[in-house]
């Protein structure tokens, strides 16, 4: 699954009973068309809504996206020459990221998938062990079509499939050698969850005991400082290398960076060229990354704090509306993103959410709902600048409006 789809991952559900004449292929095509149309309607409702919890840039028009660069002169000297194959403004961004993460050097990459493949490939060559220990829900395992093994000659092994980060004992007692431990912080597909600081340091120490290097998949590492109560450089210092994204938390056009020892980054630049990642000019994406670091990064702790207000108000609102069971996961969000679980079919909750946005101009749930089991629908909630305007009362009122439409859809 691509990063763009990962952010907004509505997928067709299981194929239902098939028509004898049409067959399962036709059923599947119809299901995919239904999901496509629903997404189009959902995105349109979100874009026209007056109130949302988040307005991710990837849903904007081209004109709106280009507005991110309106203040570009405040970010970089636009009279400097444009970049060519990674110099100039690209080097300036790399230096800034290395400083923020407390690492010797950093390299800009067009995608995080490329950055992490190369990082783990380089570590495999240095450790002599081409095995990477990671979580079963880690991004490379779920969303990258076996890229480690198919492209980079690295063999992933799964430490656990539990909806949490691996424990120190799981790392220490794993039954075969591995050269690198990869930790996704936060673990998105488990609910944007994080360990405690003490648990994280113990896991890192356990890897060191096994002479393994530690790599952080920090696509959303920017959001983690509140939970850990530590600055970015102190968090990153636990790892030998760190990958960060510029569009997930920071709302840039795209791009990523790999940070670590200079010798590793120098080698990574060589592999970046071999993988086709040495792009001729990248200044628009880099300017958007600089904008994210300047504008969004300082706001993230406030977003996290308000996400916890929203989460509690959601719980209260569903209880007051008489919903028999629901869950916010984690109960106290670790970042500004979390999951909501409801005991309904995805078709019903999706339609209720879209209708609420269309009919009231309030989009409580803007993302896709995913079926996680019979009668269990799960959605991701992201609280950013737009969500800071919501009070707890606003959230509870929106829940009541959503539930009224949900009851209409389910006939309850």
pLDDT band at 8 (very low <50, low <70, confident <90, very high): low
The tens digit of pLDDT for each residue in 79-93 reads 999 999 999 999 999
Strands 131-134 and 180-184: parallel
- Supply the pLDDT for residue 412: 86
Helices 346-360, 23-48: inter-axial angle, 10-degree rounding: 30
> How does residue 23 score in pLDDT terms, banded at 50, 70 and 90?
low
Q: How do strand 256-260 and strand 362-363 relate by DSSP bridges?
A: unpaired
Token pair in block for residue 409: 């859809």
Pair type for strands 362-363 and 51-52: parallel
Burial 146-163 (b: 16+ CB within 10 A, else e): ebbeeebebebeebbeeb
From the list 36, 37, 56, 31, the residue with the least C-alpha distance to 46 is 56
* pLDDT over 90 (residue 19): no
The tokens describing 187, both together, are: 């673990």
% of the chain surpassing 90 pLDDT: 91
Would the pLDDT of 39 be above 50? yes
Task: Tell me 192's DSSP state.
Answer: S
pLDDT tens digits, 70-79? 989 999 999 9
Beta-carbon contacts of residue 73 (< 8 Å; ≥ 6 apart): none
Residue 46, CA distances (Å) to 5, 40, 54, 129 in order: 17, 10, 10, 47
Question: For residue 15, is pLDDT > 80?
Answer: no
H or E stretch covering 183: strand 180-184
The 10s digit of each residue's pLDDT in 166-200 is 999 999 999 999 999 999 999 999 999 999 999 99
Does residue 401 surpass a pLDDT of 80?
Answer: yes
Pairing of strands 213-218, 241-245: parallel
In this prediction, residue 185 carries a pLDDT of 98
User: 138, 146 in Cβ contact below 8 A?
Assistant: no
The percent of residues above 70 in pLDDT, for the chain, comes to 94
Contact 363, 45 (CB under 8 A): yes
Q: What is the DSSP letter of 18?
A: P
- Asked if the model's pLDDT at residue 13 lies above 70, the reply is no
3 pLDDT above the threshold of 70: no
| Nearest alpha-carbon partner for 370 in 394, 342, 389 | 342
Q: What is the pTM of this model?
A: 0.92
> Is the confidence at residue 408, as pLDDT, over 80?
yes
Answer whether residue 5 shows pLDDT above 80: no
Write the pLDDT tens digit of every residue in 328-360: 999 999 999 999 999 999 999 999 999 999 999
| Mean pLDDT over the full length of the chain | 93
- How far apart, in whole angstroms, are the C-alpha atoms of residue 300 and residue 143? 25
CA distance 74 to 228: 31
pLDDT higher than 70, residue 253: yes
CA distance 83 to 249: 25
What is the rounded distance in angstroms from the CA atom of residue 139 to the CA atom of residue 145?
10
Task: Find the DSSP H helices in 49-164.
Answer: 62-66, 89-101, 112-127, 139-143, 147-151
Residue keyed to tokens 């998105």: 188
- Report how far apart, in Å, the C-alpha atoms of 258 and of each of 8, 236, 264, 377 are: 25, 11, 10, 35
pLDDT value, residue 259: 99
- Give 30's pLDDT tier (boundaries 50, 70, 90): confident
For residue 9, pLDDT beyond 80: no
Look at residue 25 in the predicted model and tell me its pLDDT: 67
Instruction: Give 27's pLDDT tier (boundaries 50, 70, 90).
Output: confident
Give pLDDT, residue 10. 58
Give the three-class secondary structure for 259: strand
pLDDT for 22: 47
Could you give the 3-state DSSP secondary structure of residue 121?
helix
């Amino acid at each position: 699954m691509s990063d763009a789809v990962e952010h907004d991952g509505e997928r067709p559900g299981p194929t239902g009973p098939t028509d004898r004449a049409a067959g399962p292929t036709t059923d599947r095509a119809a299901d995919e068309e239904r999901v496509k149309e629903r997404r189009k309607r959902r995105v349109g409702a979100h874009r026209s809504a007056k109130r949302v919890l988040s307005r991710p840039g990837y849903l904007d028009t081209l004109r709106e996206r280009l507005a991110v660069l309106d203040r570009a002169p405040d970010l970089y000297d636009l009279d400097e020459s444009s970049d060519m194959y990674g110099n100039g403004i690209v080097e300036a961004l790399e230096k800034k990221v290395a400083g923020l993460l407390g690492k010797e050097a950093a390299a800009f990459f067009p995608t995080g998938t490329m950055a992490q493949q190369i990082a783990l490939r380089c570590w495999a060559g240095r450790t002599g062990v081409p095995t990477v220990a990671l979580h079963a829900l880690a991004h490379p395992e779920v969303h990258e079509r076996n890229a480690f093994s198919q492209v980079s000659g690295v063999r992933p092994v799964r430490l656990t499939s539990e909806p949490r980060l691996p424990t120190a004992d799981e790392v220490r007692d794993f039954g075969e050698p591995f050269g690198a431990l990869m930790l996704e912080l936060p673990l998105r597909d488990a609910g944007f969850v994080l360990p405690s600081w003490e648990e994280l340091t113990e896991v890192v120490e356990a890897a060191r005991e096994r002479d393994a290097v530690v790599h952080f998949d920090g696509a959303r590492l920017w959001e983690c400082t509140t939970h850990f109560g530590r600055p970015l450089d102190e968090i990153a210092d636990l790892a030998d290398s760190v990958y960060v994204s510029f569009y997930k938390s920071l709302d840039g056009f795209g791009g990523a960076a790999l940070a670590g020892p200079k010798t590793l980054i120098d080698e990574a630049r060589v592999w970046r060229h071999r993988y086709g990642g040495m792009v001729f000019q990248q200044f628009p994406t880099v300017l958007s990354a600089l904008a994210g670091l300047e504008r969004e990064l300082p706001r993230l702790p406030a977003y996290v704090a308000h996400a916890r207000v929203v989460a509690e108000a959601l719980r209260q609102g569903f209880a007051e509306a008489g919903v028999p069971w629901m869950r916010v996961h984690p109960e106290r969000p670790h970042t500004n993103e979390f999951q909501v679980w409801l005991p309904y079919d995805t078709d019903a909750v999706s339609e209720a959410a879209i209708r609420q946005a269309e009919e009231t101009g309030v989009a409580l749930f803007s993302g896709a709902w995913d079926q996680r089991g019979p009668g269990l629908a799960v959605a991701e909630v992201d609280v950013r600048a737009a969500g800071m305007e919501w009070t707890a009362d606003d959230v509870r009122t929106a829940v009541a409006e959503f539930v009224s439409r949900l009851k209409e859809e389910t006939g309850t």
